[in-house]
Structure 1
Amino acid sequence: MRSCILSFWSILDPIYYYCSRLTYLPCKNNILRVRLTRYKGKNILLSDGTPINRNDLLVKIHLHNVKLLKELKDIKSELRRGKRIYQLVQRSLPDLETFIMNHYHANEIKGIIGITMLNKGCSRLGFEVVTISHPIYKWFKWMAFLPIELLSRQSTTNTTTLLEHKPSYLLMSKSTLSKLYRQ
């Protein structure tokens, strides 16, 4: 059943890619897709002193979920799956840094933003985890992540931990990204 849904999702993914204005990073082994966005949340001051204010230009990162789920399908241990996701994101961030520095809006881009329910280990990658304050938006994102979360689980019996997961913003300033991942 899971492989059937994943096959169907693989067919729909190019349509989603087109409609969401996502861009692939130049490196083929990258797990991220990106697009420019204007920040619409509350003002945030990152730990390195970078302010993120309403309408600031950020690069929004998206995990390539179909590619990720195919990568994880044979890994049974949740711990090993988490480590693999961490490695894939870590391997992708230098390409993201190069993409931003070579972008024609590089001087305007203040950082990167993502929304995820997978926030364990994110701080070790350099991200700051910020709670989504708007309750309706948080609920909407939780519902959007629900199918991905269910497909990625090895066991569908323990749904209580699913209810505990809350979507959060992941933010990183451009200077932190460069400091940690410049090639």
Structure 2
Amino acid sequence: MRINFRKTGLFVWNVIDPIYFHFTRLGYIESKFDDRRIMRVRLTKYKGRKVTLSDGTEINKNDLLLKIHLHNIKILGQIQNNDSEVRRALMIYKFVQESLPEIVHYIEIRGNTNEIKGLIGITMLHRGCKKLGVEIYPIQNRYYKMFKQIALLPIYLLSSSKIKKK
């Protein structure tokens, strides 16, 4: 009997994800593409070092940010039948691009437009970020960075088609 680790991993993740969603106090952003509703968000206070964005905006400790999370299990479900890494990347890029106006709409509806200084998220998907208008800043705390790398490892393992080679 051969076990399909990717399908088993996706099944387990589907079971755990609602629990994770509950404890992280995330909320969904409504989407006109309901099957592509991949962004989950929550308001948070920034706890890192001072960052100056390219437009001159300064993000300081305790500034209000909108933390964005990609709904990874949903994305994996939509791209898993694609063997091409490039095709997968383009699909994810398109999903994120379609979600950005919805994030703006979400902020406008909440009425926090003057309080929220920016968006924040942690990802392994950094190629193409500049085309989306996103600036990249590395995590400074090495322990937090290591924790996030370990936490993101299952996503990487389940999403990569090159695992057998590595």
Q: Same fold (TM over 0.5)?
A: yes
Give the TM-score normalised by structure 2. 0.92
Tell whether 2:15 aligns with 1:11: yes
Aligned residues: 159
Paired residue secondary structure (2:121): strand
Which ranges of structure 1 fall in alignment gaps of 5 or more residues? 160-183
Q: How does 1:123-142 map to 2 (within 5 A)?
A: 123-142=130-149
SS of residue paired to 1:89 = helix
Q: Which moved more, 1:102-111 or 1:57-66?
A: 102-111
The separation in 2 between residues aligned to 1:123 and 1:64, in whole angstroms, is 21
AA in 2 matched with 1:34:
V
Extract unaligned runs of 5+ from structure 2: none
The residue matched to 1:21 in structure 2 has which SS?
coil
Paired-residue identity, %:
49
Give the counterpart of 2:154 among 147, 150, 155: 147
Deviations 1:25-71 (A, max 9, x none): 01123211000111111101100111111110000000001101001
Instruction: Map 1:44-123 to 2 at 5 A.
Output: 44-123=51-130
Task: Kindly indicate whether residue 62 of structure 2 is the aligned counterpart of residue 24 of structure 1.
Answer: no
Q: Tell me, what secondary structure is at the counterpart of 1:124?
A: helix
Mapped contact 1:32–1:62 kept (Cα < 8 A):
yes
Say which is worse superposed, 44-53 or 105-114, in terms of deviation.
105-114
2:61 and 2:144 map into 1 onto residues whose CA distance is 16
Inter-partner Cα distance in structure 2 for 1:41 and 1:103:
25
Q: Deviations over 1:136-177 (max 9, x none)?
A: 011000000000000001121343xxxxxxxxxxxxxxxxxx
Tell me how far apart the structure 2 counterparts of residues 4 and 129 of structure 1 sit (CA, whole Å).
33
After superposition, the CA RMSD in angstroms is 1.0
* CA distance in 2 between partners of 1:21 and 1:93 (Å): 20
Q: Aligned partners of 1:13 and 1:137: how far apart in 2?
A: 22
